């Protein structure tokens, strides 16, 4: 299994990241040395390596297809972007975290600065054809006699039960609908509850102080849907109205943080989805500035830390320590270095805009100290007999607070970049008028 993870990563994730960063850094005017550092930081992202190479998952295949889709967008190949993203969705449904942003962007490029009907139709047809090709083997299998017989003897799925019509269970149509509803049930596992394990999101944090199990499941589903939509509507609206490739990374980061914090049935490893586009920000113009490194590095360290209870169960303490400290050293982060938060001796050396503010420094250091203290307590102090999950719950609470702050930072990053682009466009238009 370890070999298949390595092979899949070398065939999908690494080529996609290398191609994307090469194109993105060139478009952003980033020096080759800075681009190389950003590449190393992305490929050595501790959360990805610990989950896929330690816990044995294949998340990097899905993430690699998403990055390939972003690379196709940078190259202006919108149809290939659709194909790659459909492939990511088909490989792992967690790619749905990115879907609203991709939809808003593709719709935006078909709408602004003017409506482009041929492009819209071609994107829609290619997307539908990609889904059809992806589902074709499943649908063909569902249409044979043996499968129809098995479906006929199985309990009626809730979605089919809700239909106002009676269907012949021996028909091909029933077999196809049965299989499609099964896919939907697995993609949206509402029957499993609002959350399963102790995960660092809003619902688990609220449940710690006010038990959500007292509410009806339908109400919780609606609350989750409403909170998720409220958290993602603004970045999706921005990327729709301003469909610029340079805004994709902060938009994807903000939306995926919103999904992680508020959506239904979130797993610890789902933190990989907001961390990837956030880490790719290191490759942009000013990406290796102290301010960006501080926020991106802090979010990654916090994300790996929140997965420690899961990694501990898999006997991955040593890889966790090695990978997180190595990554912290590369980016100059605590506890290995304080270079990122140390002001330069001369104001001529850098713009203070790219230096972490005092508030940022205090905030991050508070979380770093909390993470270190938690590790000490978890290792040497046994939890009270009546609260055996005390340290795990505390981990989730601290992580949820930090991820909420990371979401706000990504929203601020998206807003500031959007304003900067709008300002540049206005200046260019005014110069043209003067000429």
Domain ranges within the chain, ordered by starting residue: 2-142+189-434, 143-188
Q: What is the mean pLDDT of the chain?
A: 90
Judge contact between 95 and 48, C-beta under 8 A: no
pLDDT category at 172 given cuts 50, 70, 90 is confident
**Residue 48: closest CA among 4, 3, 14:** 14
Position 155 scores a pLDDT of 81
Q: 231 is written with which tokens?
A: 């958290």
Residue given tokens 């080759």 in the structure block = 32
Position 181 scores a pLDDT of 81
3-state secondary structure 390-410: HHHHHHHHHHHHHHHHHHHHH
Mean pLDDT calculated for residue range 399-420: 96
pLDDT category at 347 given cuts 50, 70, 90 is very low
Mean pLDDT calculated for residue range 329-358: 75
Position 375 scores a pLDDT of 97
pLDDT digits (tens, 9 = 90+) for 220-232: 889 999 999 999 9
Position 57 scores a pLDDT of 85
Helix 78-91 to helix 59-74 angle (10° resolution) is 170
Q: What are phi and psi of 24, to 5 degrees?
A: -65, -45
Q: Is the pLDDT of residue 162 over 60?
A: yes
Position 13 scores a pLDDT of 96
* Rounded distance between C-alpha atoms, residue 16 and residue 5, angstroms: 16
Percent of the chain with pLDDT over 70: 95
Judge contact between 266 and 193, C-beta under 8 A: no
Which residue pairs from 334-339 have beta carbons closer than 8 angstroms and sit at least 24 positions apart in sequence? 334/364, 334/365, 334/368, 335/368, 335/372
Q: Is the pLDDT of residue 348 over 80?
A: no
Considering only CA atoms, give the Rg of the chain: 23
Q: Is the pLDDT of residue 115 over 50?
A: yes
pLDDT category at 170 given cuts 50, 70, 90 is confident
**Residue 354: closest CA among 286, 433, 430:** 286
Mean pLDDT calculated for residue range 3-32: 93
Alpha carbon separation from 342 to 232, 294, 338, 356, 392 (Å, rounded): 34, 11, 6, 9, 32
**Residue 241: closest CA among 426, 427, 107:** 107
Higher local confidence (pLDDT), 274 or 142? 274
90-104, 137-151, 187-201, 369-383: lowest mean pLDDT where? Answer: 187-201
Q: Is the pLDDT of residue 124 over 90?
A: yes
Q: Is the pLDDT of residue 233 over 80?
A: yes
Position 149 scores a pLDDT of 82
Alpha carbon separation from 90 to 132, 192, 224 (Å, rounded): 11, 21, 24
Position 295 scores a pLDDT of 97
Higher local confidence (pLDDT), 177 or 193? 177
Q: Is the pLDDT of residue 352 over 50?
A: no
Q: Is the pLDDT of residue 349 over 50?
A: no
Which of helix, strand or coil describes residue 103?
helix
175-179, 311-315, 367-371: lowest mean pLDDT where? Answer: 175-179
Position 1 scores a pLDDT of 57
pLDDT category at 355 given cuts 50, 70, 90 is confident
53-57, 188-192, 233-237, 370-374: lowest mean pLDDT where? Answer: 188-192
Mean pLDDT calculated for residue range 83-98: 94
pLDDT digits (tens, 9 = 90+) for 323-333: 999 999 999 99
């Amino acid at each position: 299994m370890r070999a298949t993870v390595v092979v899949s990563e070398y065939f999908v994730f690494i080529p996609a990241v290398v191609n994307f960063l090469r194109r993105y850094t060139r478009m952003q005017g980033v020096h080759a040395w800075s681009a190389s550092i950003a590449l190393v930081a992305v490929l050595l992202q501790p959360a990805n390596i610990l989950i896929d190479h330690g816990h044995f998952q294949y998340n990097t295949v899905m993430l690699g297809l998403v990055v390939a889709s972003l690379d196709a967008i940078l190259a202006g190949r919108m149809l290939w972007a659709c194909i790659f993203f459909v492939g990511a969705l088909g490989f792992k449904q967690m790619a749905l975290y990115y879907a609203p942003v991709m939809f808003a962007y593709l719709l935006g490029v078909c709408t602004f600065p003017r409506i482009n009907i041929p492009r819209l139709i071609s994107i829609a047809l290619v997307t539908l054809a990609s889904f059809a090709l992806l589902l074709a083997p499943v649908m063909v299998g569902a249409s044979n006699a043996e499968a129809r017989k098995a479906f006929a003897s199985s309990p009626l799925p809730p979605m089919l039960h809700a239909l106002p019509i009676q269907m012949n269970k021996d028909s091909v149509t029933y077999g196809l609908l049965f299989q499609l509803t099964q896919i939907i049930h697995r993609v949206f596992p509402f029957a499993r509850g609002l959350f399963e394990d102790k995960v660092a999101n809003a619902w688990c944090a609220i449940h710690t102080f006010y038990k959500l199990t007292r509410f009806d499941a339908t109400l919780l589903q609606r609350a989750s849907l409403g909170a998720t939509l409220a958290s993602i509507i603004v970045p999706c609206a921005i990327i729709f109205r301003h469909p610029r490739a340079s805004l994709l990374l902060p938009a994807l980061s903000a939306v995926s943080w919103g999904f992680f914090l508020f959506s239904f049935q979130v797993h610890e490893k789902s933190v990989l989805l907001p961390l990837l586009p956030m880490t790719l920000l290191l490759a942009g113009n000013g990406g290796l500035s102290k301010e960006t490194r501080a926020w991106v590095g802090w979010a990654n360290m916090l994300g790996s830390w929140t997965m420690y209870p899961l990694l501990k169960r898999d006997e991955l303490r040593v890889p966790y320590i090695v990978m997180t400290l190595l990554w912290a050293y590369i980016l100059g982060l605590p506890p290995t270095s304080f270079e990122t938060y140390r002001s330069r001796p001369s104001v001529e050396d850098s713009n203070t805009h790219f230096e972490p503010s005092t508030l940022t420094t205090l905030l991050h250091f508070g979380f770093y100290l909390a993470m270190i203290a938690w590790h000490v307590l978890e290792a040497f102090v046994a939890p009270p007999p009546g609260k055996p999950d005390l340290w795990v719950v505390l981990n989730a609470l601290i992580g949820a607070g930090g991820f909420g702050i990371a979401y706000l930072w990504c929203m601020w990053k998206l807003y500031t970049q959007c304003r900067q682009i709008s300002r540049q466009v206005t200046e260019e238009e005014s110069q043209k008028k003067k000429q």
